[in-house]
Structure 1
Amino acid sequence: EIVIIPRVLCSVHCVLVTPKRKLAGQLNITRTVLHFSFDFLVEGTGGSSVFSKFKDKKDSDRKNELGCAERLYGCRDSLIRINGGLMQNQSNKIKHHRRWNIAKIKGVHWIRYLLQYTAMEIFFDDSNAPIFLNFSSQKDVKRAGSLLVSLRNDALFPKGSIKDKNSVISFVDRRVALEIAENAKERWKRREISNFEYLMILNTLAGRSYNDLTQYPIFPWVLADYASENLDFNKSSTFRDLSKPVGALDEKRFKDFEDRYLNFCDPDIPSFYYGSHYSSMGIVLHYLLRLEPFTTLHRSLQGGKFDHADRLFQSIDSAYRNSLSNSSDVKELIPEFFYMPEFLENSNSYHLGIKQDGEPLGDVALPPWAKGSPEEFIHINREALESEYVSSNLHHWIDLIFGYKQRGQPAVEAANIFYYVTYEGAVDLENMDDMIQKYAIEDQIANFGQTPIQIFRVKHPRRGPPIPIAHPLYFAPQSITLTSSVSSTISHMSAVLFIGLLDNTIILMNEGLILSVKLWLTTRTQLGGNFTFSGPQENFFGVGSDVISPRKIGTFLAENVKFGRQLLATMQINSDKYLILCGNWENSFQIISLSDGRIVQSIRQHKDVVGCVAVSSDGNVVATGSYDTTVMIWHAFRGRPSEKKMRTANFEISENDHIIMERPVHILCGHDDIITCLFVSTELDIVVSGSKDGTCIFHTLREGRYVRSIRHPSGFGLSKLVATRHGRVVLYSEIDLSLHMHSINGKHIASATSIGRLNCMELSCCGEFMACAGEHGQIVLRSMHSLDIVWKYPGAGKGITSLAMTREECFIAGTKDGSLLVFSVETALIRRGSMPQTSVKPSGAG
């Protein structure tokens, strides 16, 4: 057998930077694969000294072949040889070879490391985490980054194929980053993305990375009240002044900073207000102390033990007060304050020490308004971030951190000047000959903090006004009513058991395997954030004509299968739309083209009936659950015709239309009974499966590794589950009509009892709401924060058998008699301009 070794197109030394450790090695790029070969572990900053020692390492290999361990020192960076026994235990835990599929790359960003443009961060469109690579020079990073982008585009669009402009990527250098930032700014102004999303985009474009603790993403303190029992978002005093840096928030302390700035006199060091920074590795480790790997990193920084308990992160209120009063503390927040309650709990029971008052330090003390719940703190802090006050003032903070007030005279006028080493270009490291001084400055940069890359050079605009119509479930759920009803077009009235949405089409499956596809009509156009209507008598939304007229699918279901929502899922590959149908008598599942209703692929790998299916939100992954108690994971085939022919030649595949790869990527086990419900997410790298045995099992998607199990409290079988991209999972059992919400990490958050038996549970696109419906004929809207009922929508006196929620936050409900009910914002209410401007808080609803 001839083994073809792929040709290496580029080979270069680099450092793989992760939060846990820095790995020096060789990066090899072939036409299809990015390969990193681990060489040695790096201690210290991982700066320029690493590359100067690659030669030393090569020279020392002869000695190591004789079995001796060697440690090479160079200022604060030491290269730990791992061929001998000295670091054997640690090296055993490190993967020596890592590979990434170039076709899965979705972005390559040229960014800084230690304020030098020698690094890049690579983002993937599957569940692979981003990777951060630092090189010895700008020339190396530009060569490797440009090659990766070119190879990725060639892999998706071979010569002769039609290129999709939206799928072609560019090497994100400063020019491209500024273009992306301008586009994101306009989307934020129009309220198309949230404050949180916008700040994450700006952080990424400014070179802030979860991989590099020395330039971690930055978020603002948004609240100023951590003492009240309840918060009033209508009072400006509830919020922090976003127009000032943290160091200027307290007038008394600021006077000291100002005096130092005005009276500072040093021929080599420019004047500065603040000697410490708002973001540094120490700040990240301070906040994330209770989570690994940050616990270990903190202890390593403190000589193998925890710092004194009174200096550790112990209270939200004291952390904020300290940032207002301590002359060496001007720190901002990190993103975890807005989505991750786990970092506030000492769930690993670390012995963090005893405070001066004699109390042991455990969980982080929360403000009274959090009611003792980390989840409630995160929820309210996130609501504050998205509030109208913050939306109207966030542009001031952006000016300070990422914008025109970051540098120059505007920064002086805004009292936003930090120690000079934190700024890009303040020190010319590239041309510095004194290596000892160079290493010392690199240490300073790594530990003192780094000001982000400046994105905007002019004043950032204010956000546009809120558009309640774009988010009616949040602003005014009571304004949604039953606006139209479409009777069944099928001669014998059969229940609508499935409603799927892809772009502007509605996919319907009625009892008896009758498929139809209709248009989803909207009569709105958006012009600069304003909505206009083409006619005074028209409904705002409606079901249109048939794209595919009703037709029976030519297959047979197994006798023991109850036909329903769990057997069907839609997916889109490029511009082609498909329906996946399970429950077949021959233990297969089938792919149906939604252009003509034809079965284009049938896959049979399970040993028993396939009872449920789920598709990831990006359409790349399909999960199937079976009566054989296993879950199988499948990849969608996104190749071009030329690639299909090649695969046919190599693997003798007779089927021309391969929508899904014929072999599963993983077979997941662990259940003792029929799999009844599934969720799969590439974003969260998770597969969640529910079973008739009452267990819900979590596996990682990429590796197929078991993570955890949770059980129904009474052991009843699970009938349905939904999960959000924020990591909330709701389980439903039709035996006791119970709903149970858990975090993706297995913590129970809330429980409720449904109003009657549920036939359907669907999430809003934003993930903040869940709509439930069943035999009682009404739609019940619940909060995905607490499971509280937000609103109830009476139906038309008919049992609801299927449900979908559109991007516009309309409900489309299918009934027992085959009708379609459309619930949308009442047109007349919008025209009169009487849309309520205050949001209905889910937690406050009855």
Structure 2
Amino acid sequence: MDKSRFSLLLLEPGEVYFEDFSCTLNDRNNLNEGNPRHGCLKLCSKSLVFEPREWACPLVKLYFRDCNNICIVKPQLSDIVSNIIRVKMKQYAEMLEENILAPYKFMYEEKEFFIFFDFASAEECLSQMEQLQRASTLHAPEHNSMVATILHSRYMRMVFDPVMMDDFTEQIICELQAEKISPLVRHQGKLAITPTTIYFQPFSNVESSPILKLKLRDLRRIYRRRFLLRQVGLELYSLENSMVPHIYLTFQCEGDRERTYNILEESPNVNLVKRHAEEMTMQWQNGIVSNYDYLIYLNCQADRSEKDLTQYPVFPWVVADYTSETLDLDRIETFRDLSKPMGALNPDRLEKLKERFHEMNEPKFLYGSHYSAPGLVLFYLVRKYPQYMLCLQNGRFDHPDRMFNSVKDVYNNCLRNMSDFKELVPEFYNTDTKGDFLVNMYEIDFGERHDGTKVNDVALPPWAASPEDFVSKLRQALESDYVSRHLHLWIDLIFGYKQRGEEAVKADNVFHHVCYEGAVDLERILDMNDRHALEVQIMEFGQVPKQLFTKPHVRKIGHVIEKTLSCNPAPVTSYKVECLDVITLHKEAVTCALRQGPRIISVGKDGALKVYDVEQKKQIRSITLCLTPLSSCVMIDDNIVAAGSWDNEIYLYDVEYGRKVESFRAHDDSVTCLLWLENERLLISGGADGVVRVWGNVGRAGQALRGLRAEFDHDGSVATLAYRRSGQEVDIMAGTSDGEVSIWRLRTRQRLSVSRVHSAAVTACLVLPAARLLTASENCDLFVTDLSVAHTVYETRLPSAAHCCHWDGRAVVWLGCDGALLQWDMLAVAHTDHHCAHQGTVTSIYLDEATNTLITASHDKTVKLWQLTPNS
């Protein structure tokens, strides 16, 4: 026999396979009579399964619960030791006859089977069989407990075999009992970790290899997993071409899981690819990550895995039209309302459900079934994975009329049926598999419907020419403009703040309390019957994903970035930086520098303002404006510079004529930052006194600033300023020393919001597209906050604190740190370059778009001019 037909899927979910015995099965007590078949007898916790050597013969399954008697056949001659066991059955089942996947044949007749063992002792086998037969007469909780005891006893005798290791001299760091999880199957074994390799030695010989090896150097991703609402799972991903690219393990307790996780994460041989949720969210928001890939990622983060049918990835119905000849993605009516759960899409049904909800005792639930559960997943995938359905339903498929026969009928049922609220699975949108789950590829006889038609392929809507076309068009719908603008609302329901609590009630999104993590602590339930009932309910009823967001999810900005790229040149996401000039004019640290035509203007802690001509490569102006440091400068027209000073003054200087125009007291403490609004002709100043002031009445060159237009107070010193335009409105952002960012509406003088973004002083802030604010702090944090929902969509830790930042208007942000100029691609949300620019902290960055040059200033007393060349 080249390959075994036996698999753990031929057992009931949760049934344990112990060992097998070479033997002959016959219906007579004589090998010369009857129908003897040679093969292997599989000893399992609920049954005996005989696998014959001949492929045409069916496997025979003998359930212990249907067994009348098991005994050793007494020999006719007293001096001969019998090695035959007789099993008397009330009924039995046959599987895989002619090796064809089909419902089991249940033989409802009494029959005797004689097992002739080749090598094993019938007496020892009988002892094990009788023990398991006694267990089968118990209620499920007691049966499970007895089997667990038997399994534990066998496990304790199991010794990890170092001979199987690549190098038997390897030191085993950790050895634990674990289970390898695959759909509907839990395979027990021993896990051993060495400095170079993870080894899993299965308890039984059903695996294709006697030991599974996963090299630590190939390991790329590790995820903690919740399994049956317990934090005991660990999912490992390796390189695709490795021996074991993917394995899902569960442990006896959370402590064992954490110990394993920590060993792997801290191992010097492990090189994990870490992607933060905020990074993926921002990439999705930018349109770099597709809706499909983002939903796959969220499912993964929320403990959903294709290895676990109780927590299979969940995807939304997005199309509501399954009757039209063509699928029009420009019509709103084509789409499902993503702001509502499936159960709330039909107002009449929802009203009836809510009436029942209000009459119910606590804990209340609106929906009596879930949107994802093993039975619902296999409802969709039965044609692709028929063996899973046979395992789940004890050898039977569903009634032909209840199967997945028509996409339109299923969607309508989800809208109208009082107990059907299911969403979809990723296969509906996976163009790689070409809709194979819709085709009866194995030509299985699923039976006939009430009208006499045979169950075959799934009936598709008129707008789909084939399964491949159906999945392709659904994928287009998922990535469409409408879905991109509304997908965040569905994410709020499934993974976000509307998943539970009062917000879930308001959103009509309440399921049975057992579906939620934390609602039931199985470890504290001592009654075996109660615990078993809850475990069955958790396994069969469905589980709400782990909650990922507690605030409204951000909305997608660039939903079809592919169109943008096809119509226009791709946005520059990185530059080559070349130093053109080093300007050393100041006696102390340079605090700010900018460029106006061929002139570079800079101010420093020496109180001096310097003007340098790039073409002539020499200083053309120099003036000491005050005896205290100057903190900042801005151009308020072609020739007038405004400079802020630590002596609380703002100075105006005419570069063309080389003279100080005016100065005035702007704050009660040092002027820390300046901002110029060209369209409104307004100068904004921030001070160490915690005040932001708006100065207007700017006339011709040489006319002093007069007229205080607005004044905004803060608790901490104002460190940085930014602004945004929203229609006709202008908002001012102020970052302060206490980590807060305040947003002020210029026209109304009202504070729109204030939030403590950082735990340390804000050192830089910058407004990005789509109402997003980038902020940096003294403790090296970098945050991107979506102002529309006041929610941080991205955060990272910089190698050192960023004291200034600048955006190129497209995709690149520069950050000035301790001597370094960092370059970030804000579309892909990735650090693309680290350039050693100065010997001291970079204090100022200015981009001159006309010449495509960058000007940086530093504590090292220099100003540098850089040429930017877009990378191809």
Specify the TM-score bucket, using the shorter chain as the normaliser: 0.3 to 0.5
- Point out which structure has higher relative CO (alpha carbons under 8 A, 6+ apart): 1
**So what's the TM-score if we normalise by structure 2?**
0.45
Which of structures 1 and 2 has the bigger CA Rg? 2
Structure with greater proportional strand content: 2
